[in-house]
Amino acid sequence: MLRRITSSSSLSSPPLFFRLFRHSPRSNFSLSSSRTAVSVSNRHHLHRLTAPYTTLRSICSHSSSDLLSEHPPFVRIYKDGRVERLSGTETVPASLTPQNGVVSKDVVYSQKHSLSARLFLPHKARELADGSKLPLLIYIHGGAWIVESPFSPIYHSFLTEVVKAANCLAVSVQYRRAPEHPIPAAYEDSWSAIQWVFSHSDGSGPVDWINEYADFNRVILAGDSAGANMSHHMAMRTGEEKLDPRIKGVAIVHPAFWGTDPVDEHDVQDVETRRGIAEVWEKIASPNSVNGTDDPLFNVVGSDSDLSGLGCEKVLVAVARKDVFGRQGLGYAAKLKKSGWKGDVEVIEEGDEDHCFHLLNPDSENAPKFLKKFVDFITS
């Protein structure tokens, strides 16, 4: 049986990204059986153990003999189809009472899939002169396509700081997560969210904040880790489908790009690390991928994908030198520059930092520097 208890400091798991892709997933079954456990046909046997607007952590009372597979720090999957998330389950509520000068609210954008977006707005936006608009940030969170949400404390805090500093409106997108909803569900939801946001471009959408304050000539799409991966693919789709108005810029922060082979001699060579990342993708996030980690959704840098149609005019690529994905990020920037795409590429690299350091340790020396560069990209 499943029981829920209130999260406390003694029960909360360490933040996801301190351990992201540092552990090799463990399982007691073969790759073929893992595909069965999280396949599309078995989705109805799986249910989400965490929901937005709660501060509860899910604890399963199953014995170890009930365990089908374990993939720390992400999930445990049980033989009866239950999924227990091991991190990224804490949430904080939105607030119309200003927090650090910013108000927030949650709005459903997909009734079909019960998905919401969290909106952040400077409290003083109501003092804008008639007709004045704010830059619009559409943000896709990370978490290996498996954990975290727009309602997570780290994302709520980060976007509050961004909105305060950039004086912008932000829309943080929720999407269906694996293993209950394997890839490409997250990509489909992210695209639906972008279309929903752009339905407000003529001022007649369902959400007053977007109608009144969003400047659709200054739209920035951004994400970190898995969210950075999806931000790239969403920007490619906006180019293919001629989204109007056009997205101005895309911020690709510590992107989760990968492939069977290293992109260069400085990329991760350790076999165990590469195997661990492959198992996260192949057994949990995208078990239906025919080409494994060489799926074009994951292997953006090493594949023959054409980036020249990216649907924006500028790109910020942020990497951290200690990040397992660091060389992939640099390879992405280099490939984009050589692709024939006509926009501007800016690369920022933090030499002594690891994956998503700005989220995990916002008081670190380099986090404010990153925030300033990120804000400058939004406002320039």
Query: Catalytic annotation on 358?
Result: no
Query: Catalytic annotation on 87?
Result: no
Assess whether pLDDT exceeds 80 at residue 264: yes
Per-residue model confidence as pLDDT tens digits over 331-344: 999 999 999 999 99
Q: What is the DSSP letter of 99?
A: B
Residue from 200, 254, 355, 358 carrying the catalytic annotation? 355
Looking at the fold, whether 60 and 173 belong to one and the same domain comes out as: no
Q: Assess if residue 182 is contained within a domain.
A: yes
Give the pLDDT confidence score for residue 127 in this predicted structure. Answer: 85
Looking at the fold, whether 61 and 204 belong to one and the same domain comes out as: no
Q: Assess if residue 137 is contained within a domain.
A: yes
Looking at the fold, whether 270 and 371 belong to one and the same domain comes out as: yes
Strands across the sheet containing 83-85: 26-27, 67-71, 75-78, 83-85
- Pair of tokens at residue 302: 């090493």
Query: Catalytic annotation on 123?
Result: no
Instruction: List 67's β-bridge partners, or say none.
Output: 78
Q: Assess if residue 340 is contained within a domain.
A: yes
Contact between 142 and 158 under an 8 Å Cβ cutoff? The reply is no
H helix and E strand count, the chain: 10, 14
Share of the chain above pLDDT 90, in %: 78
Give the pLDDT confidence score for residue 371 in this predicted structure. Answer: 97
Assess whether pLDDT exceeds 60 at residue 14: no
Rounded Cα–Cα distance for residues 58 and 292 (Å): 30
Contact between 267 and 260 under an 8 Å Cβ cutoff? The reply is no
Helix, strand, or coil here: 229? Answer: helix
Looking at the fold, whether 72 and 126 belong to one and the same domain comes out as: no
pTM comes to 0.85
Point out the domain boundary residue: 29, 52, 85.
85
- Would you list the DSSP string of 345-365? EEEEEETT--TTHHHH-TTSS
Rounded Cα–Cα distance for residues 357 and 169 (Å): 24
Q: What is the DSSP letter of 152?
A: S
Residue from 225, 231, 286, 289 carrying the catalytic annotation? 225
Assess whether pLDDT exceeds 70 at residue 188: yes
Q: Assess if residue 97 is contained within a domain.
A: no
Q: What are phi and psi of 288, to 5 degrees?
A: -95, 5
- Biggest CA–CA distance in the chain, Å, is 64
Q: State the CATH number of the domain containing residue 220.
A: 3.40.50.1820
Looking at the fold, whether 179 and 318 belong to one and the same domain comes out as: yes
Assess whether pLDDT exceeds 60 at residue 60: no
- Pair of tokens at residue 33: 């059986």
Looking at the fold, whether 59 and 118 belong to one and the same domain comes out as: no
| Residue bearing the bigger pLDDT, 25 or 193 | 193
> In the predicted model, what is the mean pLDDT of the chain?
85
The domain total for the chain is 2
Q: Assess if residue 92 is contained within a domain.
A: no
Looking at the fold, whether 197 and 68 belong to one and the same domain comes out as: no
Contact between 179 and 38 under an 8 Å Cβ cutoff? The reply is yes
Give the pLDDT confidence score for residue 290 in this predicted structure. Answer: 86
Domain that holds residue 234: 102-379
Closest residue by Cα to residue 104 from 207, 35, 206? 207
Looking at the fold, whether 156 and 241 belong to one and the same domain comes out as: yes
Q: How far is CA 270 from CA 101, 162, 186, 241, in A?
A: 46, 36, 29, 39
Residue from 34, 323, 354, 358 carrying the catalytic annotation? 323
Point out the domain boundary residue: 25, 58, 85.
85
Looking at the fold, whether 71 and 156 belong to one and the same domain comes out as: no
Q: Assess if residue 90 is contained within a domain.
A: no
Q: Assess if residue 91 is contained within a domain.
A: no
Residue 55 CB neighbours (<10 A): 14
Looking at the fold, whether 12 and 69 belong to one and the same domain comes out as: yes
Q: Assess if residue 93 is contained within a domain.
A: no
Rounded Cα–Cα distance for residues 166 and 378 (Å): 7
Rounded Cα–Cα distance for residues 260 and 120 (Å): 39
Q: How many residues does the chain have?
A: 380
Rounded Cα–Cα distance for residues 225 and 228 (Å): 5
Q: What is the DSSP letter of 66?
A: G
Contact between 120 and 104 under an 8 Å Cβ cutoff? The reply is yes
Point out the domain boundary residue: 37, 52, 85.
85
Looking at the fold, whether 132 and 161 belong to one and the same domain comes out as: yes
Supply the Cα-derived Rg of the chain in whole angstroms: 20
Looking at the fold, whether 154 and 301 belong to one and the same domain comes out as: yes
Confidence of residue 139 (pLDDT cuts 50, 70, 90): very high
Rounded Cα–Cα distance for residues 35 and 23 (Å): 20
Residue 305 CB neighbours (<10 A): 15
